[in-house]
Structure 1
Amino acid sequence: MNNNAELEQSDRGYPTGMVLWLLRAEALAVFAASISLFFFLGGEFWVLAVLFFAPDLSFVGYVVGKKAGAALYNAVHSYALPAVLAIAGVLTGLTILWHVALIFVAHAAFDRSLGYGLKYAAGFRHTHLGPIGNPPSAAAAFAQQGDV
């Protein structure tokens, strides 16, 4: 099942190898299912187009700091908020709440399928799916520590 390279990488604190690809494929399936359900429930394309990237407005939290940015980003990009919206939609009969919930699920799943996971307070590029982007150069990493 696992090759030696995967076993050597398994202690990194985030998924690697086939586990990472399985999580990304799973997210892609959730994305496809939520978009399909959105349209099945009568969702309009223009609503999807307007709201799909709305969760990314949570990046504004990083203006306050890494910890606040990660907390706000994670609150908006987890599946908990859409679950609450969906329950509210069922209880109130407001279809728009279902639609927004499905759009937010689709967005979070889309991000995860691309490798953008929930954030750690260490910084934007540190996610539960592993680091994103190019690692900083040695000089930049040194400067970020406040030693320069």
Structure 2
Amino acid sequence: MEVTVTPTEDRSIIIALRLEGGAAFIVATAAYAALAEGWWLYAITALLPDVSAAGYLAGPRVGARAYNIAHSYVTPFFFGLIAWLSEPALLPVAAVWVAHIGIDRLLGYGLKSEQGFKFTHLGRIGRERFEDDRE
């Protein structure tokens, strides 16, 4: 059975979600600046959550699940909580992780559908998204 994901048609919700991502990016980057000594760790770990896209090598279902786990705010929250309780030196990594998710959301890269990488909770990504507007 094929599941069709239909993102919201309400542009104001999409704009609000993107702005929310931008706010998360700014606050998480400020938290990183307060927690870390220098920007080298930020540069090294900024794209680390995107390694989860390798899950797509096992198919769209595994890929979407791996990507969504790495790109849900819940995952860095729990990572940060564990770091705070056991290894506070890892807190800046949690901040970078949240910043990564935030900038992704600001740019329109949302959580993925099992239909494929280009189908997100924020709508389709890529050039194909404009084809829907022309029809």
Match of 1:135 among 108, 128, 133: 128
What RMSD in Å do the two structures reach over aligned CA positions? Answer: 1.7
Report the residue type matching 1:85 in the other structure.
F
Displacement after TM superposition at 1:15 (Å): 5.2
Instruction: Please say if 1:111 is aligned against 2:104.
Output: yes
Displacement after TM superposition at 1:20 (Å): 1.0
Instruction: Please say if 1:22 is aligned against 2:16.
Output: yes
Instruction: Please say if 1:56 is aligned against 2:56.
Output: no
Name the TM-score, length of structure 2 as normaliser: 0.86
Describe how 1:1-148 pairs up with structure 2 within 5 A: 12-14=6-8, 16-92=10-86, 94-135=87-128
Distance in 1 of aligned mates of 2:35 and 2:52 = 27
Query: For this pair of structures, how many residues does the alignment match?
Result: 125
Q: What percent identity do the matched residue pairs reach?
A: 36
- Give the number of the structure with larger relative contact order, counting CA–CA contacts within 8 Å between residues 6 or more apart: 2
